[in-house]
A = this chain, B = another copy of it.
Amino acid sequence: MKRIDIAVVDDHDLFREGIMLVLRQIPGYHILFDASDGELFLEKLRTQKPDIVLMDVNMPRMDGVSATAQALALCPDLKIIALTMFSDHLHYSQMIQAGVKGFMLKKGNKQELQQAISEVFKGGVYFSQDILQKVALRTFRKDDEQRMTARELEVLGLVCSGLSTPEIADKLFISVKTVEGHRTNIFQKTEVRNTAELIIWAIRNDYLTIE
């Protein structure tokens, strides 16, 4: 059986060190490298090609979504598993869109992690039960209401992390007017009147998780 080379990307040192020790315990698994943010990961990826990448979603400098997208642009056959604290729809859909092959929660255990890596390594996919249930519930409940586009989800995510319209425009390299346009569409689709209601809506509908 081939050795599985794994890369771990997470900004929390303790968690990263811990999960690397967990992985080392499993026969056949090998830690190729680790990184504390997306930029460092992309840098190391230029010289080393792991079979599996465990990618945190929320990180400073460059987050998991950008890092995943850019990594897959360089190595389209890279197998990336998202690993996050939160099971909200926003994190999920953004990472799916970025191209991850799996999605599991940090509250999962060693067995689940092993299963996820095994499935994805064999060419399959893996999504934790929590995620699947939430997504299923959501699409079942409100499919008639207009689905949001990828860009709108992105803007929604930034709004929900407390950024103002100019800040979002700056981050996405687009005009303030465009962001306003996306906001207007989001408001119409969610039937809210202001930012406060939008945040509450996002939490109620599992687009945003706060702990």
Q: Which residues of B contact A85 (CB under 8 A)?
A: 12, 85, 211
> Nearest chain B CB to A26's CB is how many angstroms away?
12
> Which residue of chain B is the closest to A113 with respect to CB atoms?
B14
Point out the residue from B109, B162, B193 that lies within 8 Å of A192, measured CB to CB: B162
* A139 interfacial by beta-carbon distance below 8 Å: no
Copies of this protein in the complex: 2
A contacts with B, residue count (CB < 8 A): 39
- How close is A60's CB to chain B, nearest CB, in angstroms? 9
A106 to B211, CA, bound (A): 14
For the complex with contacts A17-B18, A161-B200, A164-B194, 16 further pairs of A-B residues with Cβ separation under 8 Å are A11-B107, A12-B85, A12-B107, A13-B109, A14-B19, A14-B109, A14-B113, A21-B21, A21-B25, A85-B85, A162-B192, A162-B196, A162-B197, A196-B199, A203-B210, A204-B211
